[in-house]
Amino acid sequence: MTLNRKSVEVNILDRTLGRDKYRLVDPLGSNTKLYALAKTSSQKEYVLILDLAGYPEACPKIYVRGELKDHWGKPMSETSASMHCYGYEDGNTRLCQGWQASWTPAYHIFALYMRGLFWLECYERHLATGETIDKYLKHA
């Protein structure tokens, strides 16, 4: 990420999330990550991790900190199209955010954050109802 792009992204994150709600690690290096607090409409808090290595040219990976479990208490450790996740990586749950095929460098980090937050809202509906995330979040 260039210094100019970093400045633009930090400005957007500061205005939308607030400086105290995220941490950008190694922003000009090759192992850039964003750790951001995500509060759902039920007021439950999660930490979204965006692996920004190669950003903005490469589509970042999005994770939720920790190993999530489904409605029945089963680990979400495997890839599941209906649950829009790739299972666990390094103790975190990797989300399928569906932009790999249509990715362009024009997408801002905040748009990725919002995609993760929307997935969390769908996940909480799944926890409450047992319905798959696919009911709320369709594949492109």
In this prediction, residue 140 carries a pLDDT of 59
Specify the CATH number for the domain of residue 33: 3.10.110.10
Rg value, the chain, Cα? 15
Model confidence over 23-72: pLDDT tens digits?
999 988 889 999 999 999 999 999 999 999 999 999 999 999 999 999 99
Q: Give the C-alpha separation, 120 to 129, whole Å.
A: 14
| Residue 128 falls inside a structural domain | yes
Kindly state whether residue 53 falls inside one of the protein's structural domains: yes
| Residue 126 domain flag | yes
Q: Into how many domains does the chain fold?
A: 1
Cα–chain-centroid distance for residue 1?
A: 18
Whether 140 is in a domain gets the answer no
Q: How far is CA 88 from CA 75, 79, 83, 91, in A?
A: 9, 9, 13, 6
pTM of the predicted structure, to 2 decimals:
0.94
Kindly state the average pLDDT of the residues 80-91.
Answer: 95
Q: Which one-letter amino acid corresponds to residue 21?
A: K
Please give the residue range of the domain that contains residue 103: 3-135
- Would you say residue 16 lies in a domain? yes
Residue 81 inside a domain? The answer is yes
Which tens digits make up the pLDDT trace of 90-128?
Answer: 999 999 977 677 889 999 999 999 999 999 999 999 999
Which residues 6+ apart lie within 8 Å of 15 measured at CB? none
